């Protein structure tokens, strides 16, 4: 139990070290998508908890469920790295995500089960991969819409126009 808590803590902390290598531009570009994905993962885990799709046996802290270690660690930074390397190349994005999902759903979850961290209850690994694949499509769609229709630039331009109009009056 104590080792599994330590492992969860490491899984949450170690990915943050990759922040140094991502680059400021990448972080700024993909942060909204990473936050969106983290929110979606948390919603999935709420549903999974209620339907007992999977179960976390260990948590880092009594007030933070075990899923938070994944959300704030590997999921968040995997989103950054995969988007950095594959965004704009949809087929490559799908291939890389599919490989990562199968690796996570089969050997990684089995290893985590042996450590007493998480296991599937009413869902099998293939069903979990389909959930991950749906999330990957949602993530790519979110980033595509964000870049195709940059609402922040529109708001800034609108605000600047309003400022200029006030100055001329």
pTM attached to this predicted model: 0.85
Q: Which residues in 88-106 are b (16+ Cβ under 10 Å) and which e?
A: eeeeebeebbeebbbebbe
How far is Cα 28 from Cα 100, in angstroms, rounded to an integer? 24
Q: Are 70 and 117 in contact (CB under 8 A)?
A: no
In this predicted model, what pLDDT tens digit does every residue of 45-88 receive, in sequence order? 999 999 999 999 888 877 778 888 899 999 999 999 999 999 99
Beta bridge partners of 55: 119
Considering just the CA atoms, what is the radius of gyration of the chain in Å? 19
DSSP codes of every residue in 134-154:
HHHHHHHHHHHHHHHS-HHHH
In this predicted model, what pLDDT tens digit does every residue of 92-119 receive, in sequence order? 999 999 999 999 999 999 999 999 999 9
How far is Cα 136 from Cα 1, in angstroms, rounded to an integer? 32
Instruction: List CB contacts of 68: < 8 A, sequence separation 6 or more.
Output: 12, 59, 60
């Amino acid at each position: 139990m104590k080792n599994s808590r330590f492992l969860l803590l490491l899984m949450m902390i170690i990915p943050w070290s990759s922040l140094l290598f991502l680059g400021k531009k990448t972080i700024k570009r993909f942060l909204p998508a990473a936050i969106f994905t983290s929110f979606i993962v948390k919603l999935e885990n709420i549903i999974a908890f209620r339907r007992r799709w999977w179960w976390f046996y260990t948590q880092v802290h009594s007030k933070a469920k075990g899923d938070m270690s994944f959300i704030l660690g590997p999921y968040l930074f995997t989103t950054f790295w995969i988007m950095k390397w594959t965004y704009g190349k949809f087929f490559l994005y799908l291939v890389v995500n599919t490989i990562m999902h199968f690796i996570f759903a089969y050997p990684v979850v089995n290893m985590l089960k042996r450590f007493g961290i998480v296991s599937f209850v009413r869902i099998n690994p293939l069903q979990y991969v389909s959930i991950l694949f749906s999330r990957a499509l949602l993530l790519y769609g979110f980033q595509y819409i964000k870049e195709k229709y940059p609402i922040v630039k529109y708001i800034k331009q609108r605000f600047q126009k309003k400022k200029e109009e006030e100055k001329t009056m």
